Amino acid sequence: MIDLHTHSDQSDGSLSPARLVEAAAAAGLEALAIADHDTLAGYDLARGPAGAAGLDLVCAMELGTTLADPPLRHVHLLAYFLAAPPPAGFRAWLGGIHDDRRRRNRELAARLQTLGLDVTLEEAEALGRSVTGRPHFARVLVKKGYARDVPDAFDKYLGNQAAGYVPRREPATGEAIERMLAAGALPVLAHPARLTRERPGILGGLIADLVKLGLGGLEAYHSDHAPEDTARLLGLAQSYGLAVTGGSDFHGDAKPGVQLGTGLNGNLAVPRQVLDRLRDSARQRAVR
């Protein structure tokens, strides 16, 4: 059993990287990728524990990007570093994204304060670690009684249409793909069927557009995908010559019900060959 898409508390998961490695070993996983949002910190911190546990840790991350043209605005890309670790230039680029996030968070806290809410940057950062974001502000708002729950906090204060909204500069999807390729990573479209759940008709065109930008793979196996989604994505991957990946998108308690390796009520089984093929083609790319 393998799982190539999980989150630690370095982004929005509930388990520390070390605990995630422990849980993966206990669940009998042979290989695990920690793909934290916008950061390599989960992977970095899991390396030691994974080595000690004899767990095959795959270097990955998940990046939020903005698509220049419709049909969609937000696209999550997974980056898999299969042949070599992320180079310094890529890490520096991520550092710039973190800086802008911090700038946004500072402005967001100030905006919330002008709305009369007693919320500070420090309170959000205490929950957010490497990648503090709006979900952490939402939890602070809930804890302080300004909102019923997280969705309510977004409706009232944090959502794109709400009074407290401060945008951050997300990297463009095309630029992100280029950066990943230049860093030797495989750029993969995350949970494509979830992305197009409301409008399944746009999936084929979206993938065609992303392939032109250099996309290298599709996450065909995912705990939000029905068997027909996976079948359709495997077919699309084949017709475009794209790699295939898969994982649970495990977030621990932050996403109850989704289990490491097996997904939601056992709806996931990522074939071991998926990882073998990824590594084979990475090796071939490295030789060329």
Instruction: Decide whether 21 or 170 has the Cβ nearer to ligand AMP.
Output: 170
Binding of ligand AMP by 142 (CB under 6 A): no
By CB under 5 A, name the one of 9, 36, 170, 249 that touches Zn ion: 249
What DSSP line would sit under 217-240, residue for residue? EEEEEETT--HHHHHHHHHHHHHH
With CB under 5 A as the contact rule, which of the stretches 61-69, 87-95, 109-117, 178-186 interacts with Zn ion?
61-69
178 to 207: interface string for Fe ion, x by CB under 5 A: ------------x-----------------
Find the helix or strand (DSSP H, E) in which 243 lies: strand 243-247
Site for ligand AMP in 162-201 (CB under 6 A): 168
Residue whose tokens read 């500070």: 120
Q: How many residues bind Zn ion (CB under 5 A)?
A: 2
Which of 63, 66, 67 minimizes the C-alpha distance to 91? 63
Helices (H), 132-224: 134-143, 150-153, 173-182, 192-195, 203-213
- Taking the complex as a whole, the smallest distance from the CB of residue 254 to Fe ion amounts, in Å, to 7
Residues in a beta bridge with 258: 264
Binding of Fe ion by 5 (CB under 5 A): no
**Helix, strand, or coil (residue 174):** helix
* Eight-state DSSP code of residue 69: S
- Taking the complex as a whole, the smallest distance from the CB of residue 287 to Zn ion amounts, in Å, to 31
Which of 96, 82, 133 minimizes the C-alpha distance to 278? 82
Cα-based torsion angle of the residue sequence 138, 144, 147, 151 in order, rounded to the nearest 10 degrees:
30
- Taking the complex as a whole, the smallest distance from the CB of residue 36 to ligand AMP amounts, in Å, to 12
Binding of Zn ion by 209 (CB under 5 A): no
With CB under 5 A as the contact rule, which of the stretches 59-67, 131-139, 158-166, 226-234 interacts with Zn ion?
59-67
Instruction: Decide whether 164 or 217 has the Cβ nearer to Zn ion.
Output: 217
- Taking the complex as a whole, the smallest distance from the CB of residue 35 to ligand AMP amounts, in Å, to 13
With CB under 6 A as the contact rule, which of the stretches 77-85, 128-136, 193-201, 239-247 interacts with ligand AMP?
128-136
Q: Count the residues in the chain.
A: 288
Residues found near ligand AMP in the complex (CB under 6 A): 64, 133-135, 150-151, 154, 159, 168
